[in-house]
Structure 1
Amino acid sequence: MLDKILAVWGTPRTRSTTFLWMMKQRGDFHTFHEPFGKSFYLSEDRKSNRAADQAPQAEFNYQAVLDMLESHIGQDGRSVFIKDLTYHLEGVYDEAFLSHFHNVFLIRDPAKTLPSLYSLLPDFTSEEVGYHTQYQMYELLRAANPNSPPVIIDADELATHTEAVVRSFCEQVGIPFIAESLQWETIPTETKLTWWIGGDSHHDNLKQSTGFQTKRFKDYLHVSEVPKLAKAYEEYLPYYEKLYANRLIVR
């Protein structure tokens, strides 16, 4: 059992909920979907006005959420896993905060994430993309422990070489590899996978899946077709490329 929260930090649309679903299949983790998203949008500490029509809730404050997560460590003999988005920690994370976690980063080419995000949230802000925060978090942790930098997983390599990537991830974080966790039954459409204020439809692909290698059911715009996406792609690609150069490589 892990003594800290195992956290996978992604940007939007990086297959991170699929990763969480895989971890849920294992049975040895309490799993939580973007708990700090509630802090970012719905708490007294919130950093966004997107849900300004909703009264702030103290139970979602960053420290309250962290305390809640840590209270689950060891319950029923299980560890704790979260998947969350890096931008939810903007203005909050520092070395002390991140020391509560075994930190792993999930990355994906912004040419694929940005159009998908745009289809979900066309008015997304620069803060809600998260690439710069992801890179800064990684660099902070690497500088603090240069001999053991955080694990970086590329989402597309995870989909194409699932067993090898997951097996290596498990070795790196010190948990057993469980082959059965890589496949599952399709998820009933009424299953609620997220608390997200905009609803759950962006997880339809996952609900139709039985593993990481899903068939894409929606055609997205190319980043060059929308000026907002083209500008974001140019800005965030360098962060992705720097992280990609340090990704977990499997043979």
Structure 2
Amino acid sequence: MLDKILAVWGTPRTRSTTFLWMMKQRGDFHTFHEPFGQSFYLSEDRRSNRASDQPPRADMNYQAILDMLESHKGQEGRSVFIKDLTYHVAGMCDADFMSHFHNVFLIRDPAKTLPSLYSLLPDFADDEVGYDTQYQMYEIALASSNGAPPVIIDADELADNPEAMIRGFCERLGIPFIPESLQWDNIPPSTKLTWWIGGDDHHGNLKTSTGFRTNRFKDYVDVSDVPKLAKAYEECLPYYQKLYANRLNTSS
């Protein structure tokens, strides 16, 4: 059992909910879907007005969520796993906050994530992307890693070769590799995967999948076709490239 919360930090549209579903199949982790997203949007500490029509909730404050996650460690003999988005903890992710977690970073080329995000949330704000925060978090985790750099997984390489990537991930984290966790039955359409204020439609691909390789239901615009995306891509790409250079590479 891990001594800390295992956290996979992604930006939107990096297959992170698929990663969480894989972890759920293992059976040895309590799993939580974007718990700090509730802090970002719905708590007394919230940093977005997207859900301003809903009253703020003290039980979703950042410290309350962290305390809740810590309280689950060891329950039923299981460790704790979260997947969350980096922008949800922007401004919170100092060394003390990061010390509560075994930090793993799930990355993906912004040329793919940004059009997908735009198709779901065309009015996304600059602070709802998170590549800059992801790199900041990596640097903080690296500084306190004692020579064992944090694991970085590229989402597309994960989809292309899930067994090798997850085996490498497990080896680095010191947890058993469970091959059976890489496959699952179709998820019932009624299954609620998220608390997200906009609903659960953005997980349609996952619900019809049986593994990391998902079906694609629609075509997306190119980042060069929309000025908002072109600007975001220019800003995000350098952070992605820096993280990609240090990713888990199973071919070496």
TM-score between both structures, scaled by the size of structure 2: 0.98
d(CA) in 2 for partners of 1:241, 1:48: 28
d(CA) in 1 for partners of 2:10, 2:166: 16
Partner SS state of residue 112, structure 1:
helix
Match of residue 34 from structure 2: 34
CA-to-aligned-CA distance 1:142-162 (integer Å, 9 cap, x gap): 123361111000000000010
d(CA) in 2 for partners of 1:140, 1:96: 10
Would the aligned equivalents of 2:17 and 2:83 in 1 still touch at CA under 8 Å? yes
Match of residue 184 from structure 2: 184
Between the aligned residues of both structures, percent identity stands at 78
Partner SS state of residue 83, structure 1:
strand
Q: Which residue identity lines up with residue 94 of structure 1 in the other structure? A: D
Q: Does residue 1:245 correspond to 2:245, yes or no?
A: yes
d(CA) in 1 for partners of 2:145, 2:66: 23
d(CA) in 2 for partners of 1:26, 1:147: 29
d(CA) in 2 for partners of 1:141, 1:215: 34
Return the offset for 1:140: 1.4
Match of residue 53 from structure 2: 53
Match of residue 235 from structure 2: 235
CA-to-aligned-CA distance 1:203-244 (integer Å, 9 cap, x gap): 000000000012212111111111100111111100000000
d(CA) in 2 for partners of 1:142, 1:216: 35
d(CA) in 1 for partners of 2:146, 2:247: 15
Partner SS state of residue 186, structure 2:
coil
Match of residue 208 from structure 1: 208
Q: Which residue identity lines up with residue 181 of structure 1 in the other structure? A: S
User: What stretches of structure 2 of length at least 5 have no aligned partner?
Assistant: none
d(CA) in 2 for partners of 1:73, 1:201: 31
The 5 Å alignment of 1:1-251 reads 1-145=1-145, 147-251=147-251
d(CA) in 2 for partners of 1:14, 1:145: 24
Partner SS state of residue 31, structure 1:
strand
d(CA) in 1 for partners of 2:102, 2:116: 28
d(CA) in 1 for partners of 2:204, 2:215: 11
Q: Which residue identity lines up with residue 4 of structure 2 in the other structure? A: K
Q: Which residue identity lines up with residue 24 of structure 1 in the other structure? A: K
Partner SS state of residue 166, structure 1:
helix
TM-score between both structures, scaled by the size of structure 1: 0.99
d(CA) in 1 for partners of 2:163, 2:227: 38
